[in-house]
Structure 1
Amino acid sequence: MMKVLVTGADGFIGSHLTEELVKKGYEVRAFTYYNSFGTWGWLDMMPAEILKSVEIFSGDIRDPNGVRMAVKGVEEIFHLAALIAIPFSFHSPDSYVDTNIKGTLNVLQAARDYDTSKVLITSTSEVYGTAQYVPIDEKHPYQGQSPYSATKIGADRLAESFYRSFETPISIVRPFNTYGPRQSARAVIPTIISQLLAGKKEIKLGALSPTRDFNYVKDTVAGFISIAESDRTIGEEINIATQNEISIGELASEIISQINPDARIICEEERLRPEKSEVNRLLGSNEKIKRLTGWRPQYSLKEGLQKTIDWVKENNAIYKTDIYNI
């Protein structure tokens, strides 16, 4: 199988994607964020027999020279490296511009220079903002309701410009909310689960009324790979979505019922987004990905939640349940 580069391989989705690509026989170079501790993020928790097959490249996506070194010699790129926490983008937007926009530019420039056969640019459902109609298809207008989403819109449009200007073979992959093992507590599902498993009786959350379309991480990864393996996806923007929605309040109640029915939800003010920034409804259309690739979600929300709960039970010590993780 071909040699591929996964940027952001040390992250939540990136680590699962790296693992699945190795299992499918790909030769994988994993771009991880350099740090002096010598850690490789979530890759450190990958099974040893998988990790030994991975070529680790530690660098910084903001550095064009390092990115060029990482891209040299690979046939395809899965570009996932990004800053993604929305609350952090409120007070550090410069870092999001440097990482999400300039980092994507570095990948696109290197891919163009080395004539890479395909580049998958990771987008986010947050680029749509609150749904103007549902299900949200790929023609839905964009709305930057946070500095994070604005930088992802910018990165997507850069990718489109390279396709139209230089015929760079890109696909824009747009997952709706992904969850599962190895997700940080800045996301709502591990926040709820880790608080419950730590014995908390009051579960602290932000807004409860917004709805989300949740993908189990293995379904998201399967979507990435199906888009990479299809010749029909070049130049396209493609949602990965279940086409089902649930409110955060309903989600929390479901998880509470599975772990500790006596717990109750507390809406904590510091966890609320600014009013005009909150994305109130996300429900994605998956018609395009099904048409172009044949992908279908394999996990129900109930199944995915149970697998996530089981994993957090074994690893709850890594979560700081007494603080608000932004």
Structure 2
Amino acid sequence: MQILVTGGAGFIGGHLAEHFAGEGHDVVVLDNFEPYYDLGIKDRNVEAARNAAEAAGGSYELVDGSITDEEQVDDLVAGADVVYHQAAQAGVRKSVEQPEKVNEYNVDGTMTLLEAARRHDVERVVLASSSSVYGKPEYLPYDEDHPTTPVSPYGVSKLASEQYARVYNEVYGLPTVALRYFTVYGPRMRPNMAMTNFVSRCLHGEPPVIYGDGTQTRDFTYVDDVKRVNAQLLEDDSADGEILNVGSTDNIDIQTLAEVVRDEIDPSLELEYTDPREGDAEHTHADISKANELLGYEPAVDIRQGVSTFIDWYRANQEWYDPLVRNS
């Protein structure tokens, strides 16, 4: 099958590209290599997917370009059976600083993609959304009917994107599915996240730093669970037109997460606290019953298992992944 992965050199997109290439599919990746974080990590994602394609006898093509380039997007979509739309300007705090840029990539770019998909009658568009669309909880866990009142431009952009996807299904009959991810983590994740910061500091003998008082809660979803549900949507039409939460069964507060990481690496370290970051939601917690009902989605990796696996991977790849080692 011909698969286009936008943002396919990024964290989740890279794992999807690697998986599909490893299954023998023909994969094309579009990525503009925005230097939001160290591009060497994206190079590793590309390398992993290329190696998977070579081993499985599939094909892998990398296109350096932007989701906002209408002509380029149209050409790529024309050759695709299924599109996985992962491209976005990531980062809640970055969106507070540059809201127009976030809108350009996340909303205008999504529109460009959906229009191309409609013109070329692709079999399905699977779009990456985010728990950031919910904002302040009126109740927890969030189900998909919870009010959407985002507290950051990033959340607003993801809400607009998923609603456009829904409308393109309803009005034009384009098969679309939007997946609201809840704090995805795992190998090759962005290095400026809470978990990577905790692991890096602890491995260097420094206490983990918590922004705020640590009572903030998150669902942490291991990337393999996200990869599995995306792979199912390659041919499963059960969720066409739907918006689904993709989270875990583990809701954990940030202080406890820091303690879990600390205890795994160096239990003698203390915790440190600093001012909270603007735009961060206080709590996220996914009700995944809809994804379970439609797709049989059940996360398989709990937080302690996932943290332990991630720390092992981090140690093995610290030389190129850890920012303190790379910049020393």
Which amino acid in the other structure matches residue 277 of structure 2? R
Q: Residues 249 and 302 of structure 2 are in contact (CA less than 8 Å); yes or no, is this contact kept in structure 1?
A: no
Q: Residues 198 and 316 of structure 1 are in contact (CA less than 8 Å); yes or no, is this contact kept in structure 2?
A: no
Q: Residues 131 and 283 of structure 1 are in contact (CA less than 8 Å); yes or no, is this contact kept in structure 2?
A: no
Determine if the alignment matches structure 1 residue 261 to structure 2 residue 261: no
Which amino acid in the other structure matches residue 75 of structure 1? D
Determine if the alignment matches structure 1 residue 241 to structure 2 residue 247: yes
Which amino acid in the other structure matches residue 57 of structure 1? V
2:294 — aligned with what? 292
Could you tell me how far apart the structure 2 residues matched to 1:253 and 1:185 are? 19
Residues 249 and 34 of structure 1: is their aligned pair in 2 closer, same or farther, counting only changes over 3 Å? closer
Q: Residues 92 and 280 of structure 2 are in contact (CA less than 8 Å); yes or no, is this contact kept in structure 1?
A: no
Matches for 1:218-237 after TM superposition, within 5 Å: 218-237=224-243
Determine if the alignment matches structure 1 residue 195 to structure 2 residue 226: no
Could you tell me how far apart the structure 2 residues matched to 1:158 and 1:51 are? 33
1:27 — aligned with what? 26
Residues 309 and 34 of structure 1: is their aligned pair in 2 closer, same or farther, counting only changes over 3 Å? closer
Determine if the alignment matches structure 1 residue 63 to structure 2 residue 62: no
Matches for 1:141-152 after TM superposition, within 5 Å: 141-152=147-158
Q: Residues 292 and 298 of structure 2 are in contact (CA less than 8 Å); yes or no, is this contact kept in structure 1?
A: yes
Higher mean displacement: 159-168 or 186-195: 159-168
SS in 2 for 1:123: strand
2:277 — aligned with what? 273
Q: RMSD in angstroms over aligned alpha carbons?
A: 2.1
Q: Residues 205 and 269 of structure 2 are in contact (CA less than 8 Å); yes or no, is this contact kept in structure 1?
A: no
2:4 — aligned with what? 5
Q: Residues 12 and 42 of structure 1 are in contact (CA less than 8 Å); yes or no, is this contact kept in structure 2?
A: no
Q: Residues 82 and 125 of structure 2 are in contact (CA less than 8 Å); yes or no, is this contact kept in structure 1?
A: yes
SS in 1 for 2:177: strand
- Residue deviations 1:110-155, cap 9 Å, x none? 1011111100111001101132212211111101101111111111
Q: Could you tell me the percent identity over the aligned residues?
A: 28
SS in 1 for 2:244: strand
Q: Residues 21 and 49 of structure 2 are in contact (CA less than 8 Å); yes or no, is this contact kept in structure 1?
A: no
Could you tell me how far apart the structure 2 residues matched to 1:123 and 1:107 are? 15
Residues 61 and 241 of structure 1: is their aligned pair in 2 closer, same or farther, counting only changes over 3 Å? same
TM-score using structure 1 length: 0.91
- Residue deviations 1:259-318, cap 9 Å, x none? 01111222222xx223xx431111101111111112221212111111110111122243
Q: Tell me the matched-pair count.
A: 316
Q: Residues 136 and 150 of structure 2 are in contact (CA less than 8 Å); yes or no, is this contact kept in structure 1?
A: no
Higher mean displacement: 311-320 or 42-51: 42-51
Could you tell me how far apart the structure 1 residues matched to 2:164 and 2:257 are? 35
1:106 — aligned with what? 112
In structure 1, which of residues 172, 176, 182 is the aligned counterpart of residue 178 of structure 2?
172
Determine if the alignment matches structure 1 residue 120 to structure 2 residue 126: yes
Could you tell me how far apart the structure 2 residues matched to 1:246 and 1:123 are? 21
TM-score using structure 2 length: 0.90
Gaps of 5+ in 2: none
Could you tell me how far apart the structure 1 residues matched to 2:94 and 2:302 are? 31
SS in 2 for 1:122: strand
Could you tell me how far apart the structure 1 residues matched to 2:221 and 2:246 are? 8
Higher mean displacement: 288-297 or 36-45: 36-45
Q: Residues 135 and 243 of structure 1 are in contact (CA less than 8 Å); yes or no, is this contact kept in structure 2?
A: no
